[in-house]
Each structure stands twice: as structure tokens, then as C-alpha cells.
Amino acid sequence: MSTPNTANIPEDLKYTKDHEWVRLEDGKAVVGITDFAQHQLGDVVYIEIPEVGKTVKAGGQLSVVESVKAVSDIYAPLSGVVVEVNSRLSDQPELINQDPYGEAWIAVIAYSAPEEIANLLDAAEYKAVAVEEGH
């Protein structure tokens, strides 16, 4: 059984058990999917970009990503309103595979329930989830 790629888990981000990453900045959360998730998906061929102004609930659908292997929901890690989206992903969905923690962020959420941050995982906790799922 191959070991999942858990080496590339930035320490400065928060994570969900559903393989989203979160960068918290001034009351906003930049959201994307993890390197582990993009490896599991394979080559990403399409991503549904959420609309600016969309209200999301923590754990609710934020977006959908389609790969050669599967179609997967991307979940909102925090409740709030989408205030910015990465429209580059419409024309370049492969960025998800190439740079999941950088150029391939999906959306920025102005979060409305800061107490939900406590439900997110740190890098060590997320690594344990990824290792568990990879076996």
C-alpha cells in the first residue's frame, strides 16, 4: 500500500477532515483543497467556482471539483459570505494539481462565526487524518 503524500502540509494553515485548507487573514478565510486531496482526485478537469455573495454554512457545499476519476464536493470550512473567487480556475483547473496551496485557492469567505475556527484541524491533526485515509 502506498503512503499518502503528507510531507507537504503547511504548518501555518488550518484544515478540515474533508481536505480543505484555510488561511485566516483579517476576518476572512482563504480556502482551497489540500495536496492530499488533489492527489486522491487525479487530474482536475473542471471546478465550479462559487458566486461572490453566496452565503455558506460550515460543512455546506462551497464548490464542486471534477477530475478524471471523480466529482467531489468542496465544503465551506466556516460559515459566512463568499467575498472573492479565483476565476483563473475556470480556465486553468489544472492549477489545483500544480499549486494547491498557492495559485489554486478557490474562494475567500468573510466568516461570520469565529467560534467555528476551533473546529478546524492544525497541521499535525490533519496529517493524522490523511495518513488514516491513505491506508
The domain made up of 14-133 has a fold known as: OB fold (Dihydrolipoamide Acetyltransferase, E2P) (2.40.50)
Task: Identify the H or E element spanning 125.
Answer: helix 123-133
Summarize pLDDT for 98-133 with one digit per residue, the tens. 999 999 999 999 999 999 999 999 999 999 999 998
3-state secondary structure of 130: helix
What's the mean pLDDT in 35-62?
A: 96
Q: What is the pLDDT of residues 2-18, one digit of tens each?
A: 345 566 799 999 999 99
Residues 6+ apart with CB under 8 A from 106: 31, 32, 33, 47, 49, 50, 62, 63, 74, 85, 86, 89
DSSP 27-85: TEEEEEE-HHHHHHH-SEEEEEPPPTT-EE-TTSEEEEEEESS-EEEEE-SS-EEEEEE
- Give the amino acid at 42: G
**Is the pTM for the entire model greater than 0.85?**
yes
